[in-house]
Structure 1
Amino acid sequence: MNLLDIRNLSIELVSGNKPILAVDRVSLCMKEGEVRGLVGESGSGKSLLAQAIVGVLDDKWQVDADRFHWRGTDLLRLSLEERKAIISKDVAMIFQEPMACLDPTTTIGEQLEEAVDSRQLSGYFWQKRQQRKAAAIKLLHKVGIKHHEFCIRSYPHQLTEALCQRVMIAIALATRPVLLIADEPTAAMESSNQGQIFRLLASLNQLKNMSILLISHDLENVTHWTNTITVMYSGQFVEAGTTEQIFNRPFHPYTRALVDSSPKANMLLPAKSRLMTLPGSIPILQHLPIGCRLGPRCPRAQQACVQAPKVKNHHGHQVSCHYSLKDTY
């Protein structure tokens, strides 16, 4: 049984006279213990999809899906309160900018203690206070912050971005989630700090069997840490499969372009040569192309691309394209 099973999820922005379809019928499945990458350019709808799963989108966004199952339970049939009770217990999310997400007026220790699940505590209220503090320290140790004294009494602005990201992960782990969603967890970090964060997430997956949805715009970076990858473009599903399939034999022209823009896939190129890029840029929400949204930029686009392509499944390797690269290999 799938841990998370989403079919044809759409997210509309209700603004003005005409709603804008920001995410168009995207499907996503995750199994227990899986590390799945969700890849695409900025503006492709990755963060919107993650926020829809967690349930933190505000009223201007309307979410609809053919199926939205969590461990076999249809969340769409539940009330908002029942859905939040399940998701807040089993799913946690790490956001892009840890400095902006942490409360600047409260110490790290107080924020960690507040995040500790009350169900883990027992005894009288004064005993629970000590238990909360001990749990907060244990969480810091779990994410690799051994010298917790300085961190606990510090405010977010007194810590480095890498430390703040570790604190965000500690807060996310406080509820002992089954699924951890990491939205660009290493954005704007130095490469050494990026490696530390990714190794930490990998250890959580291996030791706790925690499922992780790793969101990134960098396909090459994600391939080192994931089992499977889903690719999105401008709010549409593009391709999904194992990491090896996506990186070594991509079927979609957009995925092929992402791979070709990676230095790892172009080791034989002469020094200082240009990497392959698609012409143009990702469309804005107010002016989305009809049919396949990659059409205006796609080197294989033809007349049929004015209709949205259906998803085709090739032994677990899914692609949404009228003229896929499957037969070119």
Structure 2
Amino acid sequence: MALLEIKNLTLFIDAGDETVKALEKVNLTLNEGEIRALVGESGSGKTLIVRAILGAIPDNWSIKADRITYQGKSLLDMSGEQRRQIMRREIAVVFQEPASALDPSVKIKEQIKESIPDEFITKAWPWKQNKQREELTVNLLHRVGIKNHKRYMECYPHEIPTDISQKIMIAMALASEPKILIADDSTRGMESATKTQILRLLLKFNETKKLAILFVSHDLLAITSMAHSMTVLYCGQTVESGKVKSLLKRPLHPYTKALLDSAPSFQVSLPPKSKLVTLEGTIPTLQHLPTGCRLGPRCPNARKECVMVPVPRNIQDHLYSCHFPLHLPKNTKHKVYKEVKL
């Protein structure tokens, strides 16, 4: 059984004069101990999926899905309090901007202490409880690589560097020993050394604690170095999903290939000072979505059949949604594909 499973998630946004589909029939699974990357251009809907999982949606948003389950239990059928309990203990989130996620008026020590669940405090007397919380706080800072804890515990968020703030956010997220960690573009803008340190930290917890990680990022090089599987989004739809090695070796969807081609790290034979490969055009607005395949107006392989919505298909756990997939084996025909029933 998957830890987290999303089936046919559609998210509607009431824009006043009309209702638009920000997400449409998105599918995603996350198993125990798995690191799944969620990739796509800005505006593809990655953060919207995270907010749908957390239940952090405004009043003018509405969700329709076959299921959104955690350990087989429907998150959609839970009360607000039941869902908050799961988010407090079982599913943790690290946001991309720690400065905006931390309380600017409270010292770091107090914020970390508050994130430690009461169940972890075993001391009977109040003064002993406070001491135990401080000990656990120091231990959490050490676990995320902050050895000089005294320097930062008495600081306010604006007084510490961004990379330390990000580690503190990770410490707070891991305080409840969750089963799932959602890292929402948590390494954006970081220098290379700091980014590498954060990624190694996440890998360490994945390997030692079997922590499942949903890694939302634009950084394809970081994704391919740590993720086991990858889901590619375009304009609110899942266009391809599978093992990272499979997608790198044989991307079936033109958009996935375009993403990989745009990263110089994946083009060993790229001559110096040559132009990078880009996909012409921009991602369409939600108010002006194209008919059929949403990549159609930008796709170099588009044909007249692309005005129809492509049927999701599956080849050896490699899912894609395209009328004319790339890199198919020569002996493979469309009729032998196993269609995914939505």
SS in 1 for 2:226: coil
Q: How many residue pairs get matched?
A: 329
CA distance in 2, matches of 1:295, 1:161: 40
Aligned twin of 2:112: 112
Aligned twin of 2:66: 66
**Paired residues for 1:46-61 under 5 Å:** 46-61=46-61
RMSD value over aligned CA atoms? 1.3
CA distance in 1, matches of 2:238, 2:58: 23
**Paired residues for 1:249-328 under 5 Å:** 249-327=250-328
More divergent stretch after superposition (302-311 vs 99-108): 302-311
TM-score (norm 1): 0.97
CA distance in 1, matches of 2:182, 2:98: 14
CA distance in 1, matches of 2:219, 2:288: 25
| 1:175 aligns to 2:176 (yes or no) | yes
Cα offset, 1:220, TM superposition = 2.6
Aligned twin of 2:37: 37
1:188-217 deviations in whole A, cap 9, x for unaligned? Answer: 111111101100000010111100011011
| 1:8 aligns to 2:29 (yes or no) | no
SS in 2 for 1:57: coil
Aligned twin of 1:155: 156
Cα offset, 1:68, TM superposition = 1.3
More divergent stretch after superposition (85-94 vs 235-244): 85-94
Aligned twin of 1:192: 193
**Paired residues for 1:17-36 under 5 Å:** 17-36=17-36
SS in 2 for 1:76: coil
- Structure 1's unaligned 5+ residue stretches are none
Aligned twin of 1:102: 102
Paired AA for residue 72 in structure 2: G
CA distance in 1, matches of 2:211, 2:101: 23
CA distance in 2, matches of 1:272, 1:47: 34
Cα offset, 1:86, TM superposition = 2.4
Aligned twin of 1:230: 231
Cα offset, 1:21, TM superposition = 0.6
Aligned twin of 2:335: none
Is contact 1:220–1:259 with CA below 8 Å preserved after alignment? no
Paired AA for residue 306 in structure 2: C
Paired AA for residue 30 in structure 2: M
SS in 2 for 1:13: strand
Cα offset, 1:328, TM superposition = 6.7
Cα offset, 1:306, TM superposition = 2.2
TM-score (norm 2): 0.93
CA distance in 1, matches of 2:112, 2:249: 42
CA distance in 2, matches of 1:84, 1:323: 43
CA distance in 1, matches of 2:208, 2:99: 28
- Structure 2's unaligned 5+ residue stretches are 331-342
CA distance in 1, matches of 2:79, 2:250: 43
1:55-79 deviations in whole A, cap 9, x for unaligned? Answer: 2222222122111121111222333
Aligned twin of 2:333: none
Aligned twin of 1:214: 215
More divergent stretch after superposition (143-152 vs 218-227): 218-227
The percent identity for this pair of structures is 45
Cα offset, 1:266, TM superposition = 1.3
1:41-67 deviations in whole A, cap 9, x for unaligned? Answer: 111100110111122222222122111
SS in 2 for 1:214: strand
CA distance in 2, matches of 1:153, 1:318: 49
Is contact 1:156–1:164 with CA below 8 Å preserved after alignment? yes
Paired AA for residue 55 in structure 2: G
1:81-117 deviations in whole A, cap 9, x for unaligned? Answer: 2233223321000111111111111111011011111
Paired AA for residue 284 in structure 2: P
More divergent stretch after superposition (277-286 vs 228-237): 277-286
SS in 1 for 2:76: helix
1:25-50 deviations in whole A, cap 9, x for unaligned? Answer: 10001110001110111111001101
CA distance in 2, matches of 1:125, 1:162: 34
CA distance in 2, matches of 1:256, 1:264: 14
CA distance in 2, matches of 1:250, 1:36: 17
Cα offset, 1:323, TM superposition = 1.1
SS in 2 for 1:224: helix
SS in 2 for 1:202: helix
